[in-house]
Amino acid sequence: MTHAENLAGPPLATLPESSSPGESLGVLTLPSSVEEMDTSAAGPVIWVVDADAAQRAEVVATLRPFYLLREFADAAVALASLPSAPPGVVVAAEQAGVQGGVDFVRALRRQPGQEHTPLVFVADAPENRARALLAGADDCLIKPYRRSTLVDAVSSQINAQVEDSWEALPAHARAALRETLSVFGRISERLLNGGPVAYDSVTTACEPLVEVVNRHEHRILLDAVRGHDNYTYAHSLRVATLLALFGGLAGLRDEEQLVLASGGLLHDVGKMSIPHAILNKPGRLTEEEFAVMKSHVPATLSFLERNPDLPASVLVIAGQHHEKLDGTGYPNGFKGSNLNELARMAAIVDVFSALTDYRAYKLAMPAEQALRIMTDDMQTHLDQQLLRVFKATLLDCAA
């Protein structure tokens, strides 16, 4: 999906204030749902460099719900801060420095190690765009622009860096990531524009993924998507990888593993229709927001059911990964006896992945801590016997 397709709201000047990711710092309390989770903050820091206080505040208000930010009114202070804490992405305005924003861009590019730091320039007029790009900006927005455009621009820069880093990976891992990302993009287009999921293209994209898993190199994939800013893709890739791994240990091979991986990749595609501000909210969801979040399951199913030939296992993974053994899950509140082994496996992998996923505003929880929570606090939700197998799978592969 485009990163901020649901943010297509009013122009910047009318933006409301949003809560700071910093407010999510605190002790982890067990959520009633993984989507309500709230853990400590971490992630690439986005620098906003602009001497115009009102304009800077608007940019900050737009980005703050999704990213960790550092503000600079003074470009010289920003440049002096580079060695101690380099930025993940810089958003610099025309008013960024005494000599103007373009001069700041040139000065930043001259600093050691700053040749490739992603930089989004905010220009006052279209004629300034070329100068900014020539000076070294990677992208340029022209005022006035929609807040979704700014979020998308920052997100694209983060993703480009992550995807560039895949170049250094072994060929099969690189293929697994590139092909799944590409098919995910096509799925998001189908979701928006109509038409069924082309299941063959999903299984084809998952072939290198299964190969990586069967080489016991799944960690490469799990780590490589950590910083990716398309959360639905990153989470789905991790679920696909872990489901293929889990299935592999249970003795499944080839075609069956491909179905599991494909189910994992597709299990949350309905999240692409959830508003960005809910999907990426750092804090706990309100009851109303949680109701919207839960709608991703029927949204996923109605999309997948456009293809009548989809394997039943894929629909089970997509439709039942939020069900809990005690019947408190959603969307159907199925109890244990209604949940087959695949649904139970999907629930375990989904919870584990969500707990250990990286988000821009929180640290990824260590696997040991996630497994402890799943064992101690989710006894009535998750199949503990299968969870022991899953733990053994992970331990086996860590050895």
d(CA 257, CA 203) in angstroms, rounded, equals 10
How far is the first Cα of the chain from the last one, in angstroms, to the nearest whole number? 37
CB-wise, 106 or 296, nearer to Fe ion?
A: 296
d(CA 189, CA 196) in angstroms, rounded, equals 10
Applying CB under 5 A, the span of 17-25, 210-218, 240-248, 263-271 interacting with Fe ion comes to 263-271
Q: What Å distances lie between residue 375 and 164, 216, 380, CA to CA?
A: 37, 25, 10
**Considering only residues 152, 207, 268, 323, which one is a binding residue for Fe ion as defined by CB under 5 A?**
268
What does the chain come to in residues?
A: 399
CB-wise, 2 or 33, nearer to Fe ion?
A: 33
CB-wise, 268 or 289, nearer to Fe ion?
A: 268
CB of 376 to Fe ion, least distance (A): 22
CB of 277 to Fe ion, least distance (A): 18
CB of 149 to Fe ion, least distance (A): 28
Applying CB under 5 A, the span of 42-50, 226-234, 244-252, 348-356 interacting with Fe ion comes to 348-356
Size of interface with Fe ion, in residues (CB under 5 A): 2
CB of 160 to Fe ion, least distance (A): 25
Applying CB under 5 A, the span of 217-225, 264-272, 273-281, 377-385 interacting with Fe ion comes to 264-272
170-209 positions binding Fe ion, by CB under 5 A = none
CB-wise, 207 or 350, nearer to Fe ion?
A: 350
323 lies in the binding site for Fe ion (CB under 5 A): no
CB-wise, 122 or 237, nearer to Fe ion?
A: 237
* Residues contacting 340, CB < 8 A, separation 6+: 316
CB-wise, 50 or 350, nearer to Fe ion?
A: 350
Site string for Fe ion, 215-254 (x = CB under 5 A): ----------------------------------------
CB of 349 to Fe ion, least distance (A): 9
350 lies in the binding site for Fe ion (CB under 5 A): yes
Task: Calculate the CA 395 to chain-centre distance.
Answer: 25
Applying CB under 5 A, the span of 59-67, 303-311, 324-332, 350-358 interacting with Fe ion comes to 350-358
CB-wise, 229 or 350, nearer to Fe ion?
A: 350
* Residues contacting 190, CB < 8 A, separation 6+: 196, 197, 198, 303
Binding site for Fe ion (CB under 5 A): 268, 350
